[in-house]
Amino acid sequence: MEKTTPIIILPRWLITSPNKDPEFQWGLRVVNNSIDYIGPHHKLLKKYPQDPVLEVLDGVLAPGFVNTHTHLYGVLSHGIPLRKAPQGFWAFLEEFWWPLVENRLDQEMICAATQLRCAQMLKSGVTTFFDCTEAPNAIPGCLDAQAQEVKKSGLRGILSFEASERINQENGCLGLEENVNFIRKCVEEKKADPDGTLLSGLMCIHTTFTCSEDFIRKANALARENNVLLHAHVAEGTYEPEYALGHFGKRTIPYYEGLGVAGPQFLASQCVQVNREEVDLIAETGVRVSHMPLSNCEVGGGIAPIPDICTAGVRTGLGTDGYIDNFFEVMRGAFLIHKAARQDPRVMPANLVWYLATEGGANALDLEKIGRIEKGWKADIQIIKADLPTPLEGHNLYEQLLLYCNPENVQAVMVNGQWRVRDGQVLGVDWDRMKARTNKAAQKLWQQEENEA
């Protein structure tokens, strides 16, 4: 990584961690890819009088968002023609998502969507993301191709292929191999450039109803062998726990525990249809959770017991799931939906939602020194213009930003000490060209639907 000139950033408000009160007229100093110093404006200016200064006196400086679960290719499905709307979670998969989207994806479609979505994530304040690609006809080589698009964006990303046996066992093993090869390639790149390499991988499988016991055990062994997390979708709807009870005599989380999977190395996305005993088991075993409040609504999966999961001390983050990708909207969903479900406005306070969107998400992904503004942590930050009709104060800052801000309020984003958004513009991005490329990919995907009709 090339060394950069130190810079001092002076916002009106500084969020170091949502677990703490925001600091008024505090700023920070960035040196290379890390945060070097944090303190009041006057101390920064006195201590480093020769450093260039960026004043954003109407802005809030905050950690960048961490999107703990997305499907970047999902943007291609927005508006796809349907012969009929799927009724229920299983129908969503069997009649729509698998045959009309994932089975048709090729590498160019995935790369086109990745390029666009990376730019949109940056504009939404996201600096780190975890992506699951399930495209059984786009391997081998899918992750390598996708990685080239992510590298161009400058985002910190974890890429994975969602392996399963729903096509056949051979394709499932090819998916596991895709993950292993990418994980090892990223490790080698990290050795060559420890500070500049921003991509990594993990092991990823789909669910208990598309993966056999032997397949799950093999994936878990590969994850441990390569010292990475194992990810799976867990109980997104009622179908999986009912399937697990019918086939294994136990619900989803106890089944994973029996396989030796449920533990600190396991990242469980969704966790919508889990009961009280499973929440306790998740906490007891150290399983990590990713919460997608808006996509859970889309597929009719239900409302996850995230307040209970958080209270139990589970490492939890927020994800978009490739559905509604405005991260502020996802935060609003987490903030509001559970209040309605519990009929209690005290549930999921704003600072907790901010924590899940930043440091909590980084913890869920097992990332170090990400998601908080602290000396020695990575310079992954965003500046939000607080142009609101009522005063922004320390007592209301988290609620105000969460409820009333959107990507257009994000004025600057830095990832690993490098500016990726300045003056509200994603640097080096040709939006018209990217949208045209994505539109062409979507038309190809949709055309297959028309040909099959």
pLDDT digits (tens, 9 = 90+) for 180-218: 999 999 999 999 999 999 999 999 999 999 999 999 999
pLDDT > 70? residue 160:
yes
d(CA 51, CA 10): 12
Query: Residue 368, by phi and psi: left (phi above 0), alpha (psi -120 to 50) or beta?
Result: beta
Token readout for 21 is 């009160």
> Is-contact 336 377, C-beta < 8 A?
no
N- to C-terminal Cα separation, the chain = 51
Token readout for 313 is 């001390």
Domain boundaries, the chain: 7-63+377-422, 65-364
Give the model's confidence band at 451: pLDDT under 50 very low, under 70 low, under 90 confident, else very high: low
Provide CATH code, domain 7-63+377-422. 2.30.40.10
Q: What digits encode the pLDDT tens for the residues 49-87?
A: 999 999 998 999 999 999 999 999 999 998 888 776 677
Position of tokens 């005290």? 346
CA atoms within 13 A on the CB side of 247: 14
d(CA 56, CA 58): 6
Determine the pLDDT at residue 91: 79
Count of Cβ atoms closer than 10 Å to residue 324 Cβ: 18
SS3 438: helix
Tally the residues of the chain.
453
Give the model's confidence band at 1: pLDDT under 50 very low, under 70 low, under 90 confident, else very high: low
How far, in whole angstroms, is CA 108 from its chain's centroid? 22
d(CA 204, CA 223): 9
pLDDT > 60? residue 452:
no
Considering only CA atoms, which of 419, 412, 426 is closest in space to residue 383?
412
Give the model's confidence band at 17: pLDDT under 50 very low, under 70 low, under 90 confident, else very high: very high
At the topology level, CATH places domain 65-364 in: TIM Barrel (3.20.20)
Cβ-Cβ contacts under 8 Å for 68 (sequence gap 6 or more)? 129, 130, 269, 290, 317, 318, 319, 361, 364, 365
d(CA 306, CA 327): 18
Torsion of CA 327, 333, 338, 340, to 10 degrees: 160
> Is-contact 436 85, C-beta < 8 A?
no
d(CA 304, CA 290): 10
Helix 350-357 / helix 397-404 crossing angle, nearest 10 deg: 70
Quick one: average pLDDT of 363-373?
98
Which pTM value belongs to this model? Answer: 0.96
User: Higher pLDDT residue, 87 or 282?
Assistant: 282
Determine the pLDDT at residue 84: 67
Q: What digits encode the pLDDT tens for the residues 109-136?
A: 999 999 999 999 999 999 999 999 999 9
